[in-house]
Amino acid sequence: MSAARTARTARTVLAAALVAGLAGGVLAAPAFAAAPPGPSHTATQQALDAAVAEGVPGAVAKARDGKERWTGTAGVRKGEDRFRVGSITKTFTATVLLQLQAEGRIDLDDPVEKWLPGVVRGNGNDGRKVTVRRLLNHTSGIYSYTADPSFQQRVFGPAFLEHRYDTWTPEQLVAIAMEHAPDFEPGASWEYSNTNFVLAGMVIEKVTGHSYEREVERRVIKPLKLRATSAPGTDSRMPQPNSGAYSKLRRDTTGPTYDVTDLNPSIAGAAGEIVSDANDLQTFYRALLKGRLLPPAEMKEMTDTVATGRGTDVRYGLGLFQQKLSCGKEVWGHSGGIHGSSSQAVVTRDGEHSLAANFNADWTGDSQALIDAEFCGTAPKKQ
């Protein structure tokens, strides 16, 4: 796979999966100078600046390499801003389920039917054939509810402004997916599906008797002291500090830009609702890859990857992407997109070199370029 194809894969498969095809135009915004980058982060700062030049209102990136820490910003973003992380939530959800397996409370090879009887059923869907593991590595074949045309029209188009505060239950989201036949037989292929992780959140609740949000807070957020991280449930407000989130709410590059900062994140649930910042995301992924959250056996299962069908450079574990960069380096993590927000969080396998970043726009900007810049020193291509 070429470097360009790798960039498109990481960006499209993850971020676009939740934003469901949002695209738009350029929003002019003042660019505020960031602190001068150190020698090893020059390309990363250039990638931030390039994103703002392309129309992203604001961008932030934080990196750690051993004990060295670096923060870069461009446009209206500030270093401590919080943002919606979208599908990065999936790694949190997978971590909780792996912890539950380590405690002997669930086996990831259990059929979904065991924990959610009758939920995955109809139009060829069969929860007896889908295991919890296949939810976490996207080999279930279950249709992604975010691909449903009616859902897209209501949630991702201009109708969002009317429905932004609507509450969606996990059962409602799964029911949308059940209106469609599976994409393939369980285990026969790979396809990114947000329905998989909504179901994973429902399994967590069935096993523990508590909401997925409560378990993430108890098992991950509090132990790691992630003070900027929260699973907001149905709370539409964004905590401070933040620099807003902006969208075109349409597929083309024209038209007005809308402030989409406030929204009811139940549209994403355990697949993409978490709010965090670039510092906390690094802390989480570094702790995870260093084995602080999972026993060795479960960590091995999480990093046991499957092919995505998009070349050999990108593979998927349990809520975790493995990506081989153009310079030969390997990073693990996830990216995420939700209204007005595009994020990346990756770390080397030893947990020593990490990057977390966010653009507060969903229609422009290449967040993959930040990864290539930070880990390979690759300057962004001039437009």
Query: Which sequence positions are flagged as catalytic?
Result: 87
Q: Is 63 strand, coil or helix?
A: strand
Q: Which stretch of DSSP H or E encloses residue 213? A: helix 212-216
Q: Residue 167: count other Cβ atoms within 10 Å of its Cβ.
A: 12
> In three state form, how does the secondary structure of 16-51 look?
HHHHCCCECCCCCCCCCCCCCCCHHHHHHHHHHHHH
Rounded CA separation 342/358 (Å): 6
What's the longest Cα–Cα distance across the chain? Answer: 57
Of 244, 329, 331, 318, give the one whose Cα is nearest residue 282. Answer: 331
How would you classify residue 353: left for phi > 0, otherwise alpha for psi between -120 and 50, otherwise beta?
Answer: beta
Question: How does DSSP classify residue 269?
Answer: G
Cα 250 → chain centroid: 21
Rounded CA separation 358/60 (Å): 5
Rounded CA separation 53/114 (Å): 51
Show the CA angle centred on residue 88, arms to residues 83 and 89, nearest 5°. Answer: 90
- Do the beta carbons of residue 357 and residue 58 sit within 8 Å? no
| 95 phi/psi in degrees, rounded to 5 | -60, -45
- What's the Cα-to-Cα distance from 170 to each of 96, 167, 367, rounded to whole Å? 18, 10, 29
Residue 185 CA neighbour count, 13 Å, CB half: 1
